[in-house]
């Protein structure tokens, strides 16, 4: 099967606020041992917490598994205690950074404008932002999911983005960590709507931009989700902390 417009699937693991040094190295080693036999077409990416980036990055160095971060500040440096700038992440060997994750938007009150600024900061540092958008259960239940998420994407898109320097991730907020997933028809409809919104802003580059699905993806449902037209990979939460589960998802990407 040929990827549309050359879009190679991306399987990204978001470790969130989990892992100490010993656990992280054990997980990295297990992924390294199994990645060669995963057999999928997709690229593999892990996004550990900031405390583990250097350690995991050193372990993955020279492998086919990419390193990414979970957030960045919109400024390249300055008096911002506790924050991490995109150039610092690039300096550690990161290639990607997640911006606008629903947990950041909810827990830290991040607006679309802030997410856009972070995505632009990532691109300026030659990182690829994984721009997250998604709806709450209340929005879904009132029938506004497609319109709300498309508007969220439009307001969060970094200026000048193209298919090589942007990844979009659709994460239904109500499905993250709950074990619930939308139907494949719902997933397909949302990815189609997001692609249409990208075309409005990016023209032909929209066809080269990967759109991932994120929301309780696991080994048992990955093949069905990844087979949905327009789904170019997965942003994986809890299942990315288990090497066998994450590798099973990678296997399903072929």
Q: Give me the helices (H) in the chain, please.
A: 21-35, 53-60, 86-91, 102-107, 112-124, 137-141, 145-156, 184-202, 222-226, 243-251
Secondary structure of 137-185 in HEC code, one letter for each residue: HHHHHCCCHHHHHHHHHHHHCCCCCCCCCCEEEECCHHHCCCCCCCCHH
What is the tens place of the pLDDT at every residue in 77-98? 999 999 999 999 999 999 999 9
62 a known binding residue? no
For 213-219, what is the mean pLDDT? 93
What is the tens place of the pLDDT at every residue in 118-128? 999 999 999 99
- The residue extents of the domains of the chain are 44-50+65-75+82-244
pTM of the complete model beyond 0.85: yes
Q: What is the DSSP string of 211-234?
A: EEE-SS--TTTHHHHHTSTT--EE
Predicted confidence band of residue 1 (pLDDT cuts 50, 70, 90): very low
6 a known binding residue? no
- The fold of 44-50+65-75+82-244 is TIM Barrel (3.20.20)
Query: Which letter does DSSP use for residue 2 in this model?
Result: P
**Is the predicted pLDDT of residue 2 greater than 70, yes or no?**
no
174 a known binding residue? no
Question: Roughly how many angstroms between the first and final C-alpha of the chain, as a whole number?
Answer: 8
Active site residues: 101, 171
CB-based contact 125:76 (threshold 8 Å): yes
Distance CA 86, CA 92 (A): 10
Output the pLDDT for position 4: 64
16 a known binding residue? yes
Q: For residue 72, which of 144, 129, 137 has the smallest C-alpha distance?
A: 129
Cβ neighbors of 161 (< 8 A, separation 6 or more) are 119, 123, 202, 205, 209
**Is the predicted pLDDT of residue 25 greater than 70, yes or no?**
yes
What is the tens place of the pLDDT at every residue in 241-254? 999 999 999 999 86
For 149-156, what is the mean pLDDT? 97
For 161-186, what is the mean pLDDT? 91
Cβ neighbors of 27 (< 8 A, separation 6 or more) are 19, 241, 243
Angle between helices 243-251 and 21-35 (to 10 degrees): 30
**Is the predicted pLDDT of residue 19 greater than 80, yes or no?**
yes
Output the pLDDT for position 177: 79
């Amino acid at each position: 099967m040929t990827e549309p417009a050359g879009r190679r699937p991306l399987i990204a693991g978001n470790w969130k606020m989990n892992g100490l040094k010993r656990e992280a190295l054990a997980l990295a080693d297990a992924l390294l041992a199994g990645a060669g036999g995963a057999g999928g077409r997709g690229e593999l990416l892990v996004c550990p917490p900031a405390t583990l980036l250097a350690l995991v990055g050193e372990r993955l160095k020279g492998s086919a598994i990419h390193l990414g971060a979970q957030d960045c500040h919109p400024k390249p440096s300055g008096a911002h205690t506790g924050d991490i700038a995109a150039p610092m992440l690039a300096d550690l060997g990161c290639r990607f950074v997640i911006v606008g994750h629903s947990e950041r938007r909810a827990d830290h009150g991040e607006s679309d404008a802030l997410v856009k600024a972070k995505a632009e900061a990532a691109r300026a540092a030659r990182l690829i932002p994984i721009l997250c958008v998604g709806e709450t259960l209340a929005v879904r239940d009132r029938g506004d999911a497609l319109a709300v998420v498309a508007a969220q994407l439009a307001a969060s898109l970094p200026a000048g983005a193209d298919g090589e320097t942007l990844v979009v991730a659709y994460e239904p907020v109500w499905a993250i960590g709950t074990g619930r997933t939308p139907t494949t028809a719902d997933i397909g409809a949302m990815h189609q709507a997001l692609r249409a919104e990208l075309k409005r802003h990016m023209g032909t580059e929209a066809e080269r931009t990967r759109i991932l699905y994120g929301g309780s993806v696991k080994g048992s449902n990955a093949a069905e989700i990844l087979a949905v037209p327009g789904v170019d990979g997965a942003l994986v939460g809890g299942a990315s902390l288990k090497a066998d589960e994450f590798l099973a998802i990678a296997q399903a990407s072929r």
